Amino acid sequence: MQDRYKHCYMDIEEVKQRAGPREFGPTDDMPEEYRKAATRMIQFHANSEIMGAYIERPFIRQAPSLDRKLAVSAQVQDEIGHGQLLYRAAENLGIKTREQMLDELANGEGKFLNCFHYPLDDWYELPMIMFFVDGAAMRRQATLKRTSWEPYAHAIDKICFEEGFHIKHGESILAELASGTRRDQERLQEAFDKWWPRILQFFGPTDDQSTHSDFSSAVGLKTMGNDALRTAFLNVYLPKAEKYGLEIPDTPAVTFNEDTQRYEVEEDDLDWDEFMQIARNQYPQGKGQIDKRHRTQEAVEWVRDAIENPGAGSAAAD
Amino acid sequence: MIFEVFRQEQRKDYHVHVGNVHAPDREMARMYAQVMHARRKPAHSLWVVPKEEIAEVDSDDEGVSMGGLTQKEYRWATNYNTDETFAEEIEASQREQEEAERGREEAEAND
């Protein structure tokens, strides 16, 4: 492939001009600013896949039936696989190695989605992740099939192929609990009350508050803004919640604006201090999740060593 | 030497395996690949790879598990129909899965 590196260096203006779906790949000499922005975005996505798997993993053990156990286990396996695909896509940009990104995640520098900083207490909370949060993630991912970094779009192709099952399985768990006993329904509502504000924050601050949005959109990495994504998500998932008998809490206030055809969320009703604390990886429970990842990475260090330096271990044992 | 050829029809498409060429070296392999696989069927790009550089995993090999042997309905979106409509991206994902399933069935029927 090395003989294909024939493209000349592109400056940022040219990138903005050419930006379009799957426009750039490893054979293009992209400016550092683009490569850094793409790395930040894909690394965040990869980290979120891994940390999402950590949130769901305990429910392989806690699943109430064999069918659920098999399905949850398949989902966790898929998410880890998505993480690996995405680290590959990010690595291609030449800013960070895969090892560096995994180390950053383990030592608390790596950023990931707000919702995966909150460990789940019980099975009633699982559909909050598997249906609403994964549904929100899928909404965003569908728009990334048109991202300008081709290796990212290729990873997204496979992710979207698999993800339909995850969300429909999550919906099936939700439907089952929603049609259960009154106690089931109450506990489901409690889980929803707790998770609803976090879900509303999933897409991040509104566009006017978002730090990296402008550049990522200008170079085609991002194809839809935070506000439009949240509206598209609410259009489908708010009626779904109501359909399963969930009551939408009064605060944070969500209203449908007939003129703009958009849901509007009362931003002041949401806890943005907590969101920012999470964004800095300083939320106590989130730190617990990161520590868990750190311990796991350390625990299997010897496996990586054995694979990368075969024979080294036996010399030490002599 | 045998070189395997992967052809990309248009920019942004995936490269797809189309066959191989017998050539004495890399340069000649690239030329043969163009003549055989990109002349009548115009292509945007070709990957030409020495056959021995390709690692193969065969589903018949011992200890290999590549799906399809055990019942895994629980793994597919079609298995969970708790509602009549779903978000468009969920329905798109399900269509892709159904298409892949049809492809597998056709492949089996032709076996």
The residue segments making up the domain with residue B28 are 2-53
Query: Quick one: closest CA in B to A25, which residue?
Result: B12
3-state secondary structure of A256: strand
The total number of structural domains that make up chain B: 2
pLDDT at A317: 45
d(CA A164, CA A142): 11
- Asked if B80 is an interface residue toward chain A (Cβ–Cβ < 8 A), one would say yes
Report CB contact under 8 Å: A168, B82. Answer: yes
Residues B42, B7: one domain? Answer: yes
The residue segments making up the domain with residue A191 are 2-246+273-299
- Asked if A141 is an interface residue toward chain B (Cβ–Cβ < 8 A), one would say yes
CATH number for the domain harbouring residue A171: 1.20.1260.10
Residues B47, B7: one domain? Answer: yes
Distance from CA of B16 to the nearest CA of A (A): 14
Contact assessment for residue A188 and residue A97, using Cβ atoms and an 8 Å cutoff: no
Is B64 among the domain residues?
Answer: no
In which band, very low, low, confident or very high, does the pLDDT at B68 lie, cut at 50, 70 and 90?
low
3-state secondary structure of A55: helix
Number of A to B CB contacts under 8 A, please give it.
79
Is B61 among the domain residues?
Answer: no
Contact assessment for residue A171 and residue A163, using Cβ atoms and an 8 Å cutoff: no
pLDDT at A7: 58
A206: nearest Cα among A306, A275, A288, A116: A275
- Asked if B83 is an interface residue toward chain A (Cβ–Cβ < 8 A), one would say yes
Is A262 among the domain residues?
Answer: no
Is B28 among the domain residues?
Answer: yes
A289: nearest Cα among A56, A68, A42: A56
The total number of structural domains that make up chain A: 1
Per-residue pLDDT of chain A (318 residues; tens, 9 = 90+): 444 445 568 899 999 999 999 999 988 999 999 999 999 999 999 999 999 999 999 999 999 999 999 999 999 999 999 999 999 999 989 999 999 999 999 999 999 999 999 999 999 999 999 999 999 999 999 999 999 999 999 999 999 999 999 999 999 999 999 999 999 999 999 999 999 999 999 999 887 877 777 899 999 999 999 889 999 999 999 999 999 999 999 999 999 888 887 888 999 999 999 999 999 999 999 999 999 999 999 999 999 889 888 876 554 444
Residues B6, B49: one domain? Answer: yes
Contact assessment for residue A58 and residue A257, using Cβ atoms and an 8 Å cutoff: no
The pair phi, psi for residue B98, each rounded to 5°, is: -65, -40
Is A153 among the domain residues?
Answer: yes
Q: Which two tokens stand for residue B95?
A: 């269509």
Residues B43, B79: one domain? Answer: no
Q: Which two tokens stand for residue B102?
A: 């049809």
Report CB contact under 8 Å: A141, B89. Answer: yes
